Structure 1
Amino acid sequence: MCSLPMARYYIIKDADQKALYVRDDQLLVGDPDADNCCAEKICVLPNRGLDRTKVPIFLGIQGGSRCLACVETAEGPSLKLEDVNIEDLYKGGEQATRFTFFQRSLGSAFRLEAAAWPGWFLCGPAERQQPVQLTKETEPSACTEFYFEQGQ
């Protein structure tokens, strides 16, 4: 578990109240009861190296031992879970921008914009048991809105 005092743990859900969970090395969205999965407690730490007014954050899973990263593919930016400790990113690790998301408030919901890919947002899949992805979207929509519920 992440030991830094400012670390916060959240269950992150989409607009349909489907939770983020991990299966087969991917971050998916689903109904923990119906999909036989357990909602992932996401460790959130700020990226102190970027503009704090944009609320830059890192998203870590498995106690902060793996982090969500934006990587470049032939089809454009994509999401990948990488074996990097969230505490190392917080302390100013190399290439931290690709692990950073700007947390934009929409009332009680948030949009998560990839810091390395301005205009690309974390997006819940239309189908159940599919990985979260990045989408280029100018207007907020249900698939790019997420809710953070304080974890234990």
Structure 2
Amino acid sequence: MEPDPCGVLVSLQSAERAQARPEKICILPNRGLDRTKVPIFLGTQGGSRCLACVETREGPSLQLEDVNIEDLYKGGEQATRFTFFQSSLGSAFRLEAAAYPGWFLCGPDEPQQPVRLSKESEPSAHTQFYFEQSR
């Protein structure tokens, strides 16, 4: 039986912007990669669109793609560009791009701006997030 991504609907908040309105996302594991690294897919709009890491002239970047999170769950390893490794920092988490080691999901500097990828070494990067179970 396949998991229901809406059963794991959560809110993703930047630790520095905890007062901001959280974005509801769906999470499913990537079963094709090393489970000790906690590989996950992140979907929005009920899992019908997913975060993907793509190469641009400026370096790795994020984009939302019209891909169903359940299809990624079934596909596994070939979906690396949609995968993030979740690491725990106390009650917060960091999400590293599987396709670009050393690049992390980063909260916006200003409200109403999208998340982006940031190098681990970037001093102002907001790379810690909280997961909160949706009610």
How does the TM-score come out when normalised to structure 2?
0.89
| Deviation by residue 1:83-140 (Cα, 9 ceiling, x = unmatched) | 0000000001674000000000001000000000000000112122211111111489
**Count of residues in correspondence between the two structures:** 133
Given that 2:33 and 2:76 are in contact with CA atoms closer than 8 Å, whether structure 1 keeps it comes out as no
Tell me which protein shows more helix as a share of its residues. Answer: 2
Question: Deviations for 1:61-89, whole angstroms, at most 9, x for unmatched residues?
Answer: 00100000001000000000000000000
Aligned residue number for residue 8 of structure 1? 8
Q: Matches of 1:17 and 1:141 in 2, distance apart?
A: 13
* Residue segments in structure 2 that go unaligned for 5+ positions in a row: none
Moved more, 60-69 or 4-13: 4-13
Runs of 4+ in 1 over 6 A off after TM superposition: 139-142
Moved more, 50-59 or 3-12: 3-12
1:90 counterpart letter in structure 2: Y
Deviates more, 1:109-118 or 1:87-96: 87-96
Look up the equivalent residue of 1:85 and give its one-letter code: N
Secondary structure in 2 matching 1:53: helix
Counterpart CA distance in 1 for 2:68 and 2:76 is 10
Q: For the structure 1 residues 110 and 94, does the alpha-carbon distance in structure 2 shift closer, same or farther, using more than 3 Å as the test?
A: closer
In structure 2, what is the equivalent of residue 36 of structure 1? none
CA distance in 1, matches of 2:10, 2:125: 19
Structure 1 vs Structure 2 CA RMSD? 2.2
TM-score by length of 1: 0.79
Give the gaps of 5 or more residues in structure 1: 20-30, 33-38
Identity of aligned residues (%): 74
Aligned position for 1:151 = 134
Equivalent position of 1:101 in the other structure: 84
Alignment of 1:52-67 (within 5 A): 52-67=35-50
Counterpart secondary structure, 2:3: coil
Shift of the 67–125 alpha-carbon distance from structure 1 to 2, 3 Å rule, reads same
Q: How does 1:3-82 map to 2 (within 5 A)?
A: 4-5=3-4, 7-18=7-18, 31-32=20-21, 39-82=22-65
